[in-house]
Structure 1
Amino acid sequence: MSLNHDDSQDAPQPKAKGKIAQRRVARGLAMQALYQWHMAGQSLNEIEAQFRVDNDFSAVDGAYFHELLHGVPSHKSELDGHIEPLLDRPLADLDPVELAILRLSAYELLRRVDVPYRVVINEGIELAKVYGATDGHKFVNGVLDKLAPRLRAAEVRGAQR
């Protein structure tokens, strides 16, 4: 199951240079894999194996991809509990791509304090621009802007000074 907007099944992944770029590619692949997990209910290990075979992982932070792919589902209830109060509709009514992005971003805000909250928000917005509905990035931005101060209060306060 591919979320690439072009019809090519074998669309090459962009060549990433450096840790930041490799994490960006890992996030994109993890979001697609989480979407597939949500939609198809396939096992995470099967999905991970498929993604590692179907994609060139030489430009991917493979450990980060693995952490996101397995960490988000293992903390799904907690993540959804943080996201749901900020929504204008039930979680079940969200676009599955936007839900995958919000869960991934919430995971990073909660569990990866080494990633600045502004980076988490920006990466979520960029994923939504590429894979989400037309104005999905605006929705993702609005939710993450409310979520960051709740999960990273000290960091957000420090940045506002």
Structure 2
Amino acid sequence: MKPIRTDGIDPAARSRARRRALQALYAWQVSGTSIPQVINQFQHEQDMEVADQEYFEALVKGVADHRAGLDERLAVYLDRGIEQVDPIERAVLRIAAFELLHRVDVPYRVVLNEAIETAKRFGADHGHTYVNGVLDRAAAEWRPGEAAQGRR
């Protein structure tokens, strides 16, 4: 039996939702397909049954709705323009930035760990190190209390 936290959140289902959101946002970035179409496409895939569907949609819609603001906030930590970042790493960074800024119910360490693991799985060979560097600096400024506690 898979563990479910007492607050009703299934961490494994959330992780799958993040991975599916990454794939959906990647598809959106490269194809220009509308967000409702992308969500609809992914809702009909078999492994969405084991993902947190509600969280998947919240991430995809949240990133799409706040893209300009997320990109602007991330730009401070990037060594190039956001559009020059590999599309997978760009989607990972946008998801993590959305969670750090708009989903304060998710601990910053969870956001960073999930982003790094997702980048390792889907990104370029060393893309996860880039993602880690960007998000580590961003989290220190966007969630200073949590970041300070995490570094003790």
Equivalent in 116, 119, 128 of residue 128 of structure 1: 119
Cα shift readout 1:53-76 (whole Å, capped 9, x = no counterpart): 123322111100000010001001
Identity among equivalent positions (%) equals 45
Give, as a single letter, the amino acid of the residue that structure 1 aligns with 2:24: A
Structure 2: distance between partners of 1:153 and 1:77:
23
- Compared with structure 1, are the counterparts of its residues 17 and 140 closer, same or farther at alpha carbon in structure 2 (3 Å cutoff)? same
Separation in 1 of the partners of 2:79 and 2:114?
22
Select the residue among 40, 65, 75 that pairs with 1:84. 75
Q: Normalization by structure 1: what TM-score?
A: 0.86
Q: How does 1:61-72 map to 2 (within 5 A)?
A: 61-72=52-63
* 1:39 maps onto 2:62 in alignment: no
Contact 1:17 1:59 in 2 (8 A): no
Distance 1:43 1:37 in 2: 7
TM-score (norm 2): 0.91
Give 1:104's match in structure 2, choosing from 95, 108, 117. Answer: 95
Aligned-residue CA RMSD in angstroms?
1.3
Unpaired runs of at least 5, structure 1 = 1-15
Count of aligned residue pairs for this structure pair: 146
**Separation in 2, partners of 1:50, 1:105:** 23
Distance across 1 between alignment mates of 2:3 and 2:49: 10
Q: Structure 2: which 5+ runs fail to align? A: 5-9
